[in-house]
Amino acid sequence: MPFVPVSHLLQLHRTLKKSPMGVFTKTDDRPGFPFLLQRNCLPALTRQMEERQYALRDFSRKLNANFLSPKSGSEFEFSNINTPAELAEARRYQRRSARLDSHD
């Protein structure tokens, strides 16, 4: 997730201060990355991992976590890069963004 805006990370941190357990980024109506957790949720996280339950959707529900959605139109900034094709797309996005920024 190389393009996550610093502003989103700061908003996650501000939201975490008001959340008893954690806050997840929500894209496409699903909890995902990045997310922040309070230390007091470590036992719940440990249990989840021991039970081999890796779905963030289920974990966030168990925590009764808060959610933060990206601004509309910025969804690409929250994409994972797992394949050479996704890396190529990310590089194209970065070049386009750099060109747009240079025109400001």
19-73: per-residue pLDDT in tens? 899 999 998 888 989 999 999 999 999 999 999 999 999 999 999 999 998 887 7
Q: Is 66 helix (H, G, I), strand (E, B) or coil?
A: strand
Q: Is the distance from CB of 28 to CB of 57 less than 8 angstroms?
A: no
Task: Tell me the C-alpha distance between 80 and 92, whole Å.
Answer: 15
Domain range for 73: 6-102
Structurally, the chain folds into a number of domains equal to 1
CATH number for position 40: 3.90.550.10
Q: Is residue 1 part of a domain?
A: no
Q: Is residue 33 part of a domain?
A: yes
Q: Is 18 helix (H, G, I), strand (E, B) or coil?
A: coil
β-pairing verdict for 22-27 and 66-68: parallel
Q: Is residue 98 part of a domain?
A: yes
Task: Tell me the C-alpha distance between 67 and 52, whole Å.
Answer: 23
pTM of the model: 0.78
Q: Is residue 24 part of a domain?
A: yes
Q: Is residue 80 part of a domain?
A: yes
